[in-house]
């Protein structure tokens, strides 16, 4: 069994598969009959989840929880993306929110004013098992507001192990080694780096997955960036993230039609071995497993390399969280559900329905022995302590136009320096909207 071993984020999906939930969210109680013929009230807790979240594991936890408690949990679904974000903001503002809320952690949580809208869980006993890095991603003003809803994911380079074996390649520990591998793959007639910029969000990964390397060079970068004391364009380590994206384009390592290729097509290229590398967040493993289950043994992942082999680590994406509406009439029942959700029993139930795409952000829980090879690759970085959260989980500042900017840099329209400068201007607008000091 794989166990978590570090208090600071050790061995942790946003997948596109879904099962539609039921019933809209008003709180209620219903009469049930007990074994002795007496009636008892079943408390109902409502739960709002975005419709892009895979529900199999969550629904399995709910089923077992309902068997053990006189509490019913009803799921309501909402759209994903910006439409769903606006629905949450509106319902919180109008007092029409469900008891439980599924929402992203990190910068996207801060936009919801968690201290005003969600229950402080800091002193709940079950929070003692939650990893510190995750708590930081769901905190505001020293208070913790959520539990992890899924395992962690990581931003790195998915790669086809069969292609690597056929070409005699080794996992690179430096950026130069990665680029040398890319050249050998290109010479062999395959796509070295899969680009799927038709779905513009995928263009961000090379930049975002570099945060571990940025922090190795500048440990206080996240704090300085938040306080407007550091800029991307004028911080060499941060600018380097944009330069890596630029270098991949200039070397011609992406597929010729990368601007017309989408995410699903990119996954197929990787699974078939037509492409050797796909810079991607590991929630993609769930999509690969659904569409290409027979190819999962061929897929691995490695961290985006730095320029030094001595500094090699993984950038981690914190999972979405489950939060309790501060105006709920069923707060204690909701807390019972959260406690069960993060228990070993809850994790085991979840994993039986959805194979984990990364370690859990919960101390002491075990992963199944038959996790995907790529997850085993990830666990090595957790066991060694060589991991750090993505910037959006350390800073509330993330500009809304990053994916358009990285598309420009990744396709040669803008230089790395120009892209970094554009992004510095982009984040300034958001930072001022959040009222952050120093802006």
Question: Over 80: is that where the pLDDT of 55 sits?
Answer: yes
Residue 16: name the closest of 62, 50, 47, 46 by CA. 50
Residue 350 in tokens: 């979840």
Name the pLDDT band for 91 (thresholds 50, 70, 90). Answer: very high
pTM, full prediction: 0.81
Which range has the worst mean pLDDT, 148-152, 320-324, 366-370, 391-395?
366-370
Instruction: Round to the nearest angstrom and report the end-to-end CA distance of the chain.
Output: 48
CA 70 to chain centre: 33
CB atoms within 10 A of CB 289: 18
Residue 14 pLDDT > 60: no
pLDDT tens column, 228-259: 999 999 999 999 999 999 999 999 999 999 99
Average pLDDT over residues 44-54: 92
Distance CA 198, CA 1 (A): 40
Mean pLDDT on 32-50: 73
d(CA 148, CA 382): 17
| Residue 302's pLDDT band (cuts 50, 70, 90) | very high
Q: Where is pLDDT greater, at 124 or 365?
A: 124
- The whole-number average pLDDT for the span 161-167 is 98
How do beta strands 28-33 and 39-50 pair? antiparallel
The answer, yes or no, to whether residue 61 has pLDDT greater than 90, is: yes
pLDDT exceeds cutoff 90 at 40: no
Per-residue pLDDT for 430 more than 90?
no
Range 370-399 average pLDDT: 92
Contact predicate 134/316, CB 8 Å = no
| Helix residue spans in 172-226 (DSSP H) | 175-187, 205-208, 211-217, 221-226
Q: Decide if 238 contacts 306 (C-beta within 8 A).
A: no
* Domains recognised in the chain with CATH numbers: 2-151+319-367 (3.40.190.10), 153-316+391-434 (3.40.190.10)
Burial of 96-110, coded b for 16+ CB within 10 Å and e otherwise, reads: ebbbbbbbbbbbbbb
With beta carbons less than 8 A apart as the criterion, state whether 350 and 144 touch. Answer: no
* Half-sphere exposure (Cβ direction) of 35: Cα atoms closer than 13 Å: 0
């Amino acid at each position: 069994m794989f166990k978590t071993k570090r208090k600071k984020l050790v061995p942790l999906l946003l997948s596109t598969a879904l099962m539609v939930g039921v019933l809209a969210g008003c709180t209620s109680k219903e009469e049930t009959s007990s074994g002795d013929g007496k009636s008892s009230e079943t408390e109902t807790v409502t739960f709002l989840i975005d419709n892009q979240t895979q529900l199999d594991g969550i629904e399995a936890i709910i089923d077992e929880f309902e068997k053990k408690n006189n509490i019913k949990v009803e799921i309501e679904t909402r759209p994903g993306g910006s439409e769903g974000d606006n629905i949450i903001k509106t319902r919180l503002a109008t007092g029409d929110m469900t008891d439980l809320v599924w929402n992203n952690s990190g910068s996207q949580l801060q936009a919801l004013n968690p201290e005003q809208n969600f229950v402080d869980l800091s002193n709940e006993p079950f929070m003692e098992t939650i990893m510190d890095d995750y708590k930081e991603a769901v905190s505001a003003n020293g208070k913790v507001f959520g539990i992890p809803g899924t395992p962690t994911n990581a931003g790195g380079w998915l790669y086809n192990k069969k292609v690597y074996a056929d070409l005699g390649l080794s996992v690179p520990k430096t950026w130069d080694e990665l680029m040398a591998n890319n050249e050998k793959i290109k010479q062999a007639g395959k796509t070295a780096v899969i680009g799927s910029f038709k779905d513009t969000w995928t263009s961000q990964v090379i930049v975002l997955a570099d945060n571990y390397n940025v922090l190795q060079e500048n440990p206080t970068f996240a704090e300085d960036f938040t306080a407007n004391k550091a800029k991307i364009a004028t911080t060499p380590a941060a600018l380097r993230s944009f330069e890596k994206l630029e270098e991949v384009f200039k070397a011609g390592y992406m597929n010729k039609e990368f601007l017309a290729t989408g995410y699903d097509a990119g996954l197929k290229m990787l699974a078939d071995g037509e492409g050797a590398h796909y810079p991607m967040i590991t929630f993609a493993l769930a999509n690969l497993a659904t569409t290409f289950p027979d190819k999962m043994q061929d897929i691995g992942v490695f961290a985006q390399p730095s320029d030094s082999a001595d500094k090699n680590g993984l950038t981690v994406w914190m999972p979405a969280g489950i939060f309790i509406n501060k105006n709920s009439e069923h707060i204690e029942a909701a807390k019972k559900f959260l406690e069960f959700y993060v228990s070993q029993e809850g994790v085991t139930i979840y994993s039986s329905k959805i194979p984990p795409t990364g370690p859990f952000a919960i101390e002491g829980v075990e992963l199944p022995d038959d996790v995907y090879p790529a997850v085993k690759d990830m666990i090595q970085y957790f066991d060694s302590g060589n991991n750090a959260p993505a910037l959006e989980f350390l800073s509330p500042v993330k500009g809304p136009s990053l994916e358009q900017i990285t598309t420009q840099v990744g396709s040669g329209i803008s230089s790395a320096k120009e892209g970094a400068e554009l992004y510095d201007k982009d984040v300034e607008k958001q930072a001022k909207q959040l009222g952050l000091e120093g802006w």
